[in-house]
Structure 1
Amino acid sequence: MDISLKPIIKANYEAVCDLDVAESQQDFVACNMWSLVEAQFNEGYVTRAIYQAGNVVGFFMWVKETPSKISIWRFMVDEKFQKQGIGRFALELALAEIKTDTAIREIEICYNPNNPVAKDFYASFGFSEVGMDEDDEDMLAVIHVSP
């Protein structure tokens, strides 16, 4: 599968902003444009466009919360490209990139507990649920990275 992650730059930011999920998923995913603004003005935010065969099909954003912890804040695949295995392959790439930082010991992700697909999907990568987040809105799941 021809999937890659590339930095968000002037040449691709509009394509990232144009991505969207199905209407039934709107409550589970933040706006990509807002995420790009957040990343532009905050330290430690990393954004990646998900490419398939040269086309922007999805988006990631993760944040270095502490020297040893990364939180994946945004992850989406455009509705036209879902159910093709792109998200699974892209998450593998993102986790591999995150783990290149040898100081990272914990990778976390939050998701809406009413999202029926999220729990099993993230568990298949080794994420273990640890409870609700501090706002008691999203489920928090974590991967512990060995040194």
Structure 2
Amino acid sequence: MIEIERKFLVNSEAFKEESQNSYRIVQGFLNTDPERTVRVRVKGEKAFLTIKGMGNTSGTTRFEWEKEIKVTDAEQLLKICEPGIIEKTRYEISSGDHIIEVDMFLGGNEGLILAEIELNNENESFLTPNWLGKEVTGDPKYYNSQLSKKPFMQW
């Protein structure tokens, strides 16, 4: 239930050529308190309810609990989420022993492309593709919960 993740800006769309899978994501937040965010997500043909705790100092590690729920339940919950539904297309790219997830945001966050990689420990090394840009791990403005409140196009 501990998530260790690093986040990066993406400097080109070259990742699309390496992608093995892509799907649409629609998500909203029932609670965006930094100490406990509660997210509802429809990811392709599945849906999830996720609770995330506060991150450590570096922003790489935090508590995460996720439960698959019915898509119809998620669609109902999205109707009562805080304002600022996030829509994006996610691409999955194999990179050595890891999967890099690249999100191309839509709507008010259009133009923002972020990559995330989950690790087994904070010091684990991983291959860095050429299209991986500046690291933004721990920068709250790149958290989806914050992008729902202050979209990229308003920066």
- Structure that is richer in strand per residue: 2
- TM-score between the two structures when normalised by the length of structure 1: 0.31
- TM-score between the two structures when normalised by the length of structure 2: 0.30
The structure, 1 or 2, with the larger RCO (C-alpha pairs under 8 Å, 6+ apart) is 2
- Structure that is richer in helix per residue: 1
